Amino acid sequence: MGSCEKKNIEDYIISIPDFPEKGIIFRDVTSVLQDEEGFKLAVDSLQDLLKGMDVDVIAAAESRGFIFGAPIAYNLHKPLVLIRKKGKLPRETIEQSYDLEYGSAVLEMHKDSVKPGQKVVIIDDLIATGGTVEAAAKMIEKLGGKVVKMIFLMELAGLKGRDRLAGYDVASVIRYEGK
């Protein structure tokens, strides 16, 4: 492929039908990551969603959010806060439970990771139902931070995550209409 050939980020995403179950189209982010041009385009496209914004902290959701949050935090010279599954962080944490399709889960972040009044951007690879990022936002707000934007590489619009996050500024690079 010639270096002058421009591609859209969608060109790097492989869609796998009927995974993990029949009727679902799985959007594979690993196909973006394993192509150096695709990965660069993904990071640049996400970072472009923050142009002109006043931001103090980048928060990233485990685990694929880390992949995109880290280079953006580095590029913008901002601290990176990790939002993790329960039991993974060594210091004092706050936690927030959220519902999954079957059951529930708990996210945690360090108590000292966001200070009152700080403007926080949450980054993840995908927005589906919005449950994970809503839980992340609640923790940031408990610590006194303000969630100024939520950005995602991909959005599965059919799962209505944007509706759940109606009070927030939500943006995605790619929007798929289905689930």
Q: What are phi and psi of 36, to 5 degrees?
A: -60, -35
Which residue type is seen at 129? T
Q: Can you say whether residue 160 is alpha, beta or left, with left for phi > 0 and alpha for psi between -120 and 50 degrees?
A: left
Contact criterion met (CB below 8 Å) for 48 and 19: no
- Residue among 62, 64, 95, 164 flagged as catalytic: 64
Q: What are phi and psi of 105, to 5 degrees?
A: -140, 170
- Residue among 5, 36, 92, 101 flagged as catalytic: 101
Which residue type is seen at 120? V
175 is catalytic: no
Contact criterion met (CB below 8 Å) for 153 and 9: yes
Longest dimension (CA), the chain: 50
Buried residues in 51-61 as b, exposed as e (16+ CB within 10 A):
eeeebbbbbbb
What is the distance between the alpha carbons of residues 116 and 54, in angstroms, rounded to a whole number? 15
101 is catalytic: yes
Residues acting as catalytic residues: 64, 101
